[in-house]
Amino acid sequence: MFGLWGKKGSNDAWDEISSRELRTRMAGKEVPIIIDVREGYEYEQGHIPGARLMPLGSFVRKLVTLEKSAPYVLVCASGSRSRRAAGVMVKAGFTKVANLRAGMMEWDGKVER
């Protein structure tokens, strides 16, 4: 269906991916846009390099600024808030959506501050 963006996670609407798979996608041909849905203070404590901050509280308002056909990976502290954001994106018509399972707790790659 979408290559690496096929629906192979525990949810049939978006992918649930590991830290390792996110690093693979970041090095691939179709590099995902990483959206961090945590609060600003959490983001400043450390985030995935290049991640865009879009706190969950203002997430819906900012969706109109995003291209629906682009690939996205959502991240938060534990995977819960980003899972909710993934559901919002899918309902809004986004087709290439993934959630970083366990969020920053699982991320074992580089971190920016």
Q: What is the pLDDT of residues 21-33, one digit of tens each?
A: 999 999 999 999 9
Express each pLDDT in 41-90 by its tens digit: 999 999 999 999 999 999 999 999 999 999 999 999 999 999 999 999 99
The DSSP bridge pattern shows strands 96-100 and 15-17 to be parallel
